[in-house]
Structure 1
Amino acid sequence: MPSAWQIADGEAQDWQSIAAIENLHLVHDIPKPVPGPGEVLLNIKAVALNARDMMVVAHNPVYPAIAIPELVPCGDAAGVIEAVGPDSKWKVGDKVLFNPVAWVDGPVKTFEESDGTGAGSHQGTLREYAVFPDSRLIAAPSHLSFVEMASLAAAAGTASHTLFYNRIPFKKGDIVVAQGTGGVSAFVIQLAAAAGATVIATSSSDEKLSTARSLGATHLINYRKTPDWGAEVLRITNGQGADHVVDVAGAGTIEQSILAAKHGGLVSLIGFLTESKKTDLVAPIIIGAKTIYGVLGMSNVMLEKVVELYNEHQLHPPIAKVFKFQEAKDAFAELTRLSAVGKIVVEVGV
């Protein structure tokens, strides 16, 4: 019988706390679900972790959808279709990605509309089998392993959203700043470079920056050695600034991100990994004619753009570390360290 990891009820904790991982427990002998009309039974082969997943496991209020007891966490997944319901457009044996956001195309969904698989009351993907509607699946790049496929959904989908589907159109030759070398940032580097941008990457160590270069970054900034990295971006660009700065940390880095963007440039906000603080951003935004864009979720169309670029350039995603299904707690422990370059993936089945 299939197995799944579930979250026990508990007190809210720091999402980077190792103790919070004890909320996870492995449950066996779960009945295999049966797909209905327009649905498939997915044999999940791999699940990738995101910072949001640890927030959910920790019942941390920084993520607004608190997990119900016995929730299966995680949203990223890849697998093979084992059975199809009536009128499904898929066929048995298809290899697919799962979109953790219920957004196919059109205007951005609200947080409440987006489903949020693996959070709140929406059962997630850290299990062997799940039934999903046809609309949540995307054909996977054929040259990737299941581990690689699973890493794409949230991180690469978010990178695709911020690069190609924001309010200022992407142009070949743009200068893009990727902040850090975590999951989304690594995909920003890779996808932007593949699409013809010049990428400036920042990170906390020269070792991580070496990986950023291998993903396509042209210019590298160690922000521990150069804390005023916004000014360094201006120096690299001869005082012009970047067309687009992708900010993953939030309050602790937004001032530098705005400084690094050119006059009329774009800053995309995709994370809040640093503590909140009071900052007056109004004057530099107005005087710099800069656009601040909040990135929420990814549509099927955005994920299909990822698949297109991956197939065209035969790209492979950056994988930091792979854990077996029984080692899921160890995978979450690795996530809390925030030291991985690329994605942490749990291999559910073989």
Structure 2
Amino acid sequence: MSLSYQINIVDPLHSHLSPNLLSNLSVKEVPIPSPGPGSVLVRIRAASLNFRDLLCLADSPLYPTRTPPGLIPCSDGVGEIISAGPGSTWTDSIGDVVILLTNRDWVDGDVEVVTMENNLGSGTVNGTLTQYMVVQDPWIIRAPKNLSFEEAAALPGAAGTAMNVLQSISVGKETTVVTQGTGGVSCAVIQYASALGARVIATSSTDEKLRIAKKLGASELINYKTTPDWADEVLRLTHGKGADLVCDVGGSGTLEQSVKALRQGGTACLVGFLTTPTPVDILMPLIVQAKTLKGILVYSRAMLSRVVALTEEHDIHPYLGNVYTWENAPQAFEQMRQQNTVGKIAIKV
């Protein structure tokens, strides 16, 4: 037998901020599944949390799919191949450490093929907070050899999304990238943009968090608590030009400043919506300065493959804010709910 965390909605608030959110999470004993044709059985060794996992745990209306009873949460995970089904391409790879892909649609090319119903840990697709999982051959890739289980589990949602952001433009030595905060995606953007040679200007709420951003590769630092008009500081640091790329995780509460911080023709990638919804007026800068807003939705297999290659080439290690044991997994969700995490939260499985 195997153990899995499952979601059954008890809390009537359906809010990711509800203090009773953890009442929706419980552990169940389930049979160990067997791999069918073209699939493998993976012993999950670690999972990591993303903001969307909170939304799914709450069955929040902010997330586009509903959470059915018994859903296993979490979209990010890493494990070892235990056995392979008939015709599997991984038959000779027993024991290999692999990362599970969040979305089962997007191999490469246009995001048009992505359906949210096919994301792990949401809708009707069980996630990675389970000890054993059967996965189809195309939806795993080998993990970087330089990472621990917990570090590798932190890659997909954060670094995969970060690569989606960075591939929005041609990032290189002449590129200036601005990040917001020090959550998982922002930290990954700092690391991989730096690896690609870009200049990174990091913003965050405390000097302590900014020191972490500096260690991850940020060139310049802005405390947005002491410098609330941080876009003006970005313009000053770039001699009035502005940044080529801004990774916006705040949503409507930060969007005006993100657009202001861009150079003419620059791009703001919209990754999250952590701030309180606020009316914004950004139409004229977008038109008269040819600035672009781009929504970021998960990542492709090709993007994560590039992440793995860069991770090994530059010996990049995801920043783990905390690692929880299997028994303390609910506390990991509670830390995420409080929105005070630097980097990623991982869970040993």
TM-score interval, smaller chain:
over 0.9
Greater CA deviation, 319-328 or 4-13? Answer: 4-13
**Structural mapping, 1:111-126, within 5 Å:** 112=115, 115-126=118-129
Number of equivalent positions: 345
Letter in 2 for 1:97: I
Is 2:94 aligned against 1:92?
Answer: yes
Aligned to 1:320: 321
Greater CA deviation, 250-259 or 15-24? Answer: 15-24
**Structural mapping, 1:105-144, within 5 Å:** 105-109=108-112, 112=115, 115-144=118-147
**3-state SS of the aligned residue for 1:325?**
coil
Question: How much does 1:193 deviate?
Answer: 0.3
Task: Check whether the contact 2:56–2:67 (CA below 8 A) recurs between aligned residues.
Answer: yes
Letter in 2 for 1:99: L
Query: Matched residues in 2 for 1:313 and 1:64: separation?
Result: 36
Aligned to 1:259: 260
Aligned to 2:341: 340
Q: Please list the CA deviations of residues 181-219 of structure 1 after superposition, one character each: whole Å capped at 9, or x if unmatched.
A: 100000000000011000000000000000000000010
Greater CA deviation, 326-335 or 104-113? Answer: 104-113
Aligned to 1:23: 24
Query: Matched residues in 1 for 2:274 and 2:221: separation?
Result: 21
Q: Please list the CA deviations of residues 28-52 of structure 1 after superposition, one character each: whole Å capped at 9, or x if unmatched.
A: 2x11111111101010000000110
Task: Check whether the contact 1:12–1:59 (CA below 8 A) recurs between aligned residues.
Answer: no
Q: Please list the CA deviations of residues 144-184 of structure 1 after superposition, one character each: whole Å capped at 9, or x if unmatched.
A: 110000000111000011102x2x32233200001111000
The TM-score with structure 2 as length reference comes to: 0.97
Task: Check whether the contact 2:89–2:137 (CA below 8 A) recurs between aligned residues.
Answer: yes
Query: Matched residues in 2 for 1:208 and 1:4: separation?
Result: 34
Aligned to 1:155: 158
Task: Check whether the contact 2:117–2:124 (CA below 8 A) recurs between aligned residues.
Answer: no
Question: How much does 1:299 deviate?
Answer: 0.7
Question: How much does 1:114 deviate?
Answer: 6.1
Question: How much does 1:122 deviate?
Answer: 1.2
Structure 2 stretches of 5 or more lacking a match?
A: none
Aligned to 2:64: 64
Aligned to 1:173: 174
Question: How much does 1:273 deviate?
Answer: 1.4
Greater CA deviation, 84-93 or 110-119? Answer: 110-119
Query: Matched residues in 1 for 2:14 and 2:230: separation?
Result: 32
- In percent, how many aligned pairs have the same letter? 46
Is 2:246 aligned against 1:238?
Answer: no
**Structural mapping, 1:192-211, within 5 Å:** 192-211=193-212
Task: Check whether the contact 2:75–2:102 (CA below 8 A) recurs between aligned residues.
Answer: yes
RMSD: 1.1
Query: Matched residues in 2 for 1:21 and 1:308: separation?
Result: 37
Task: Check whether the contact 2:117–2:125 (CA below 8 A) recurs between aligned residues.
Answer: no
Q: Which runs of 4 or more aligned residues in structure 1 lie more than 4 Å from their structure 2 counterparts after TM superposition? A: none
Q: Please list the CA deviations of residues 224-262 of structure 1 after superposition, one character each: whole Å capped at 9, or x if unmatched.
A: 111101111001111010010000110100000000010
Query: Matched residues in 2 for 1:98 and 1:124: separation?
Result: 10
Q: Please list the CA deviations of residues 89-111 of structure 1 after superposition, one character each: whole Å capped at 9, or x if unmatched.
A: 11211111111111111211455
Aligned to 1:34: 34
Query: Matched residues in 2 for 1:111 and 1:66: separation?
Result: 17
Query: Matched residues in 1 for 2:347 and 2:18: separation?
Result: 20
Aligned to 2:249: 248
Query: Matched residues in 2 for 1:112 and 1:303: separation?
Result: 18
Query: Matched residues in 1 for 2:313 and 2:223: separation?
Result: 31
**3-state SS of the aligned residue for 2:228?**
coil
Structure 1 stretches of 5 or more lacking a match?
A: none
